[in-house]
């Protein structure tokens, strides 16, 4: 049988943005592929029929997404980047909004905006609400002509001044507008102040629930909820400063489910749902005792598409949750009663539900990338088979295990045997560490893991303290980075080495990205058990991270404790750079030059210090890439990244 190759990363298809049409019988979704030859991604909108489970390609613009159907099910709005500028470069004018009549015909360009289109919601058959990025006082309809680099300057007077994936923000925030799709005329809803995070229209189309970040400098973690009467008037705030609102959905024309948190334990705090009756305007907490992670936080490097994880049908809330290694769907009524809707031994990324309770959803497993499924009273069926090329390939299926840590807490772990495994053989092993830290490994598909297994490595991974899916207390490692989380990883490794005699403990490698990069940096400064390490998009100094990244000024104080000038000892103690003289493990740093989540100086300074000290280190930098390199970087760069990782491990673990 064939083995997965590093370069197969370009062959995966993804599906997402699943939405039923109003009739509840047909649905739309987005299909994404990779054009390796031209080093780009292609996405188009498809339609499907629930009764036949047949799907058909609907658009062919190759950059189409974000489908939104009008309440009558007659017209489809979607975003694209089809147009070319005067130089013939596709998509540089901005993001386009197209209208397509579902009864037939060609799509029509409605509007092009440099700031894009988000939170698109139909108000009536001609008007929509949406948000677009613009600076206060800036006309978003005016074409923005970028100056040549040699003439360009950035004037900065606020934080955050950069955003991963967007670059320098130049004070641009998401602002709310009304657009007539027939005339293309738009007007601002100036009563809504601040950076709009999301917009939800009431079922009767008379009001909008708007989540706004009002002070990104002083209260960056807090979002407020407002209700706006679309006939006019000032927005009315719901709730107070005791809760930061993450999301909301309408339960009826006068009721809302609101997801929020008091951040009692900082970022690790799991949010909870509240029920709001707009007559009383009281925000009533529902089942705070559940301590669930609402949404999907399972890792995968073959996604690339989004979709809704919250829905309401017949007054009942439906939500994806992350529970240990799985993401499943639950329901909750207005009293807080919870029921399991879809138990899954995989990763459900997005879904929709019709009046009959039928589901369409996307799902992956450790041996199957994302595909589209439906669940009806008659059973569950796989609808798409876009990744059929994998038939005949030999994959490594993870074996799960549990380790009781030295403090008594049980840790989930997995091991993947090398492809062509021989019971008599001895194999090198690579420990993988996820980012976050509040994300999780589980039943999601990881091409990187399969590629390592196909290259002759055992792959070991776990969910140490700090991970999501196990409750707030489990996720809370604030002020203790590199302590209990480090112990969990090392105790899992000890278990694996003792339990699986095919692991060669003299040939161990370690790698991870973001928080996983931090932990890789930390590990090599605290143990020499690993013979090779690959640190990706990492943190090496909490002090530099605080002042150079898009989230550092509020994430570091939350995770480390206080500001660095008030807690210098803590920042230094929990910075891997402090322990650089202890490093004996050859280490490769992989970083993107436009990674503003963990900026490139994090890799540069650790690399420089190690070379200064005469240690073995290498650095591979990727221009034009950001924090999402491994998941959404340019296809050629994604291949080169994987090649760099495997070559480094081959050099040091296969001698």
Name the E strands within 81-204: 95-101, 108-113, 118-122, 127-134, 162-163, 167-168, 173-180, 186-188, 195-201
Q: How is 210-237 classified by DSSP, letter by letter?
A: EEEE--TTT-TT--EEEEEETTSS--EE
Residues 384 and 525 in one domain: no
CA distance linking residue 118 with residue 100, whole number of Å: 18
Model confidence pLDDT, tens digit, residues 477-520: 999 999 999 999 999 999 999 999 999 999 999 999 999 999 99
**Rounded Cα distance, 498 and 223, in Å:** 48
Residue 374 domain-assigned (yes or no): yes
The per-residue pLDDT for 85 is: 47
What pLDDT score does 105 carry? 87
If asked whether residues 401 and 277 sit together in one domain, one would say: no
pLDDT attached to residue 35: 97
Residue 92 has pLDDT above 80, yes or no: no
Report the pLDDT value the prediction gives residue 104, as an integer from 0 to 100. Answer: 86
Would you say residue 65 lies in a domain?
yes
Percentage of residues in the chain with pLDDT exceeding 90? Answer: 93
Answer yes or no: 514 catalytic. Answer: yes
If asked whether residues 571 and 622 sit together in one domain, one would say: yes
Q: Single out the residue in 389, 416, 434 at which a domain terminates.
A: 389
Residues 6+ apart with CB under 8 A from 14: 31, 32, 33, 302, 303, 304, 305, 369, 370
Q: Please report which confidence band the pLDDT of residue 401 belongs to, taking 50, 70 and 90 as the band edges.
A: very high
- Give the separation between CA 627 and CA 643, rounded to whole angstroms: 18
Shared domain for 178 and 277, answered yes or no, is yes
Q: Assess if residue 478 is contained within a domain.
A: no
pLDDT in tens, 94-142: 999 999 999 888 999 999 999 999 999 999 999 999 999 999 889 999 8
- Tens-place pLDDT, residues 204-220: 999 999 999 999 999 99
Domain match, 114 and 10 both: yes
Does 124 map to a domain?
yes
- Give me the CATH number covering residue 420: 3.40.50.1820
Task: Measure the CA–CA gap between 64 and 29, rounded to whole angstroms.
Answer: 11
Report how far residue 398's alpha carbon sits from residue 367's, in angstroms, rounded to the nearest whole number.
9
Which pair of tokens denotes residue 417?
A: 């045997």
d(CA 13, CA 30): 10
DSSP assignments along 20-76, one per residue: E-TTSSEEEEEEEEEETTTTEEEEEEEEEETTTTEEEE----SB-EEEEE-TTSSEE
Same domain? For 581 and 600 the reply is yes
The reply to whether 453 falls in a domain is yes
296: left (phi over 0), alpha (psi -120 to 50) or beta: beta
In the block, residue with structure tokens 């792959």 = 459
pLDDT single digits (tens) 180-192: 999 999 999 988 9
Query: Model confidence over 347-393: pLDDT tens digits?
Result: 999 999 999 999 999 999 999 999 999 999 889 999 999 999 999 99
Tell me: the pLDDT tens digits for 622-655?
999 999 999 999 999 999 999 999 999 999 999 7
Single out the residue in 389, 418, 442 at which a domain terminates.
389
User: What mean pLDDT, rounded, does the chain reach?
Assistant: 96
Asked, for residue 579, whether it belongs to a domain, the answer is yes
**pLDDT digit string, tens, across residues 235-287:** 999 999 999 999 999 999 999 999 999 999 999 999 999 999 999 999 999 99
Same domain membership, residue 429 and residue 359: no
CATH number at residue 267: 2.130.10.120
Pick the last residue of a domain from 347, 371, 389.
Answer: 389
Predicted local confidence at residue 397, as pLDDT:
98
Q: How many CB atoms lie within 10 A of CB 359?
A: 23
Is there a catalytic annotation at residue 627? yes
> Is 345 in the same domain as 436?
no
Question: Domain range spanning residue 413?
Answer: 396-463+499-653
> Could you tell me if 431 and 319 lie in one domain?
no
- Write down the pLDDT at residue 377: 86
Tell whether 480 is covered by a domain.
no
Is residue 486 in a domain? no
Rounded to an integer, the average pLDDT of 540-550 is: 98
Verify that 329 and 436 share a domain, yes or no.
no
Percent of the chain with pLDDT over 70: 98
455 and 509 inside one domain: yes
- 383 and 411 share a domain? no
Instruction: Spot the catalytic one: 66, 627, 630, 652.
Output: 627
Choice among 514, 535, 544, 630 that is catalytic: 514
Q: In the predicted model, is pLDDT for residue 64 greater than 90?
A: yes
Count of domains observed in the chain: 2
Contact 535, 590 (CB under 8 A): yes
Asked whether residue 87 carries a pLDDT value surpassing 50, the answer given is no
């Amino acid at each position: 049988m064939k083995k997965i190759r590093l370069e197969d990363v370009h062959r995966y298809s993804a599906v997402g943005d699943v939405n039923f049409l109003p009739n509840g019988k047909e649905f739309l979704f987005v299909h994404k592929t990779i054009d390796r030859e031209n080093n780009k991604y292609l996405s188009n909108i498809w339609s499907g029929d629930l009764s036949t489970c047949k799907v058909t390609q609907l658009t062919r613009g190759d950059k189409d997404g974000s489908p939104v159907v009008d309440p009558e099910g007659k017209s489809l709005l979607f975003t694209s980047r089809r147009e070319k500028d005067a130089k013939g470069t596709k998509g540089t004018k901005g993001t386009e909004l197209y209208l397509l009549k579902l009864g037939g015909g060609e799509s029509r360009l409605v509007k092009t905006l440099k700031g894009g289109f988000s939170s698109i919601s139909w108000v009536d058959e001609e008007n929509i609400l949406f948000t677009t990025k613009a600076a206060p006082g800036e006309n978003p309809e005016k074409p923005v002509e970028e100056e040549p680099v040699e003439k360009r300057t950035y004037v900065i007077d606020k934080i955050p001044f950069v955003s991963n994936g967007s670059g320098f923000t130049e004070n641009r925030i998401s602002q709310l507008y009304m657009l007539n799709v027939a005339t293309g005329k738009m007007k601002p809803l100036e009563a809504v102040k601040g950076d709009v995070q999301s917009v939800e229209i009431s079922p009767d189309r008379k009001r909008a629930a708007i989540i706004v970040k009002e002070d990104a400098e002083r209260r960056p973690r807090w979002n407020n909820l407002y209700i706006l009467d679309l006939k006019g008037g000032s927005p009315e705030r719901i709730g107070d400063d005791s809760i930061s609102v993450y999301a909301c959905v309408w339960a009826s024309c006068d009721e809302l489910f609101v997801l929020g948190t008091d951040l009692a334990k900082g970022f690790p705090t799991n949010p909870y749902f509240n029920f709001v009756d707009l007559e009383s305007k009281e925000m009533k907490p529902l089942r705070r005792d559940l301590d669930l992670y609402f949404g999907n936080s399972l890792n995968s490097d073959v996604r690339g598409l989004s979709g809704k994880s919250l829905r309401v049908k017949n007054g009942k809330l439906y939500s994806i949750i992350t529970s240990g290694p799985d993401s499943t769907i639950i329901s909750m009524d207005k009293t807080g009663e919870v029921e399991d809707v879809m138990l899954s031994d995989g990763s459900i990324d997005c879904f929709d539900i019709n009046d009959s309770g039928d589901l369409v959803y996307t799902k992956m497993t450790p041996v199957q990338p994302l595909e589209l499924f439906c669940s009806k009273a008659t059973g569950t069926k796989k609808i798409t088979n876009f990744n059929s090329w994998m038939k005949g390939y030999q994959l490594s299926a993870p074996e799960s295990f549990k380790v009781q840590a030295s403090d008594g807490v049980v840790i989930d772990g997995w091991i993947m045997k090398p492809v062509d495994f021989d019971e008599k053989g001895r194999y090198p092993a690579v420990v993988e560490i996820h980012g976050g830290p509040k994300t999780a490994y589980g039943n999601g598909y990881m091409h990187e893991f399969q590629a390592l297994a196909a290259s002759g490595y055992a792959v070991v991974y776990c969910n140490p303290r700090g991970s999501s899916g196990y409750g707030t207390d489990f996720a809370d490692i604030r002020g203790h980075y590199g302590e209990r989380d480090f112990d969990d990883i090392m105790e899992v490794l000890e278990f694996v080495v003792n339990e699986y005699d095919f692991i060669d403990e003299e040939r161990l490698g370690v790698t991870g990205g973001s928080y996983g990069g931090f932990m890789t940096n930390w590990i090599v400064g605290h143990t020499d058990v690993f013979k090779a390490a690959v640190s990706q998009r990492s943190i090496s100094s909490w002090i530099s991270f605080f002042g150079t990244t898009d989230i550092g000024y509020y994430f570091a104080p939350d995770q480390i404790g206080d500001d660095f000038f008030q807690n210098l000892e803590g920042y230094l103690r929990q910075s891997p750079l402090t322990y650089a003289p202890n490093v004996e493990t050859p280490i490769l740093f992989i970083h993107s030059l436009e990674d503003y989540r963990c900026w490139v100086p994090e890799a540069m300074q650790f690399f420089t210090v190690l070379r200064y000290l005469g240690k073995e280190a290498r650095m591979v930098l990727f221009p034009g890439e950001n924090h999402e390199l491994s998941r959404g970087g340019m296809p050629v760069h994604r291949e080169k990244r994987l090649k760099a990782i495997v070559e480094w491990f081959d050099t040091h673990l296969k001698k």
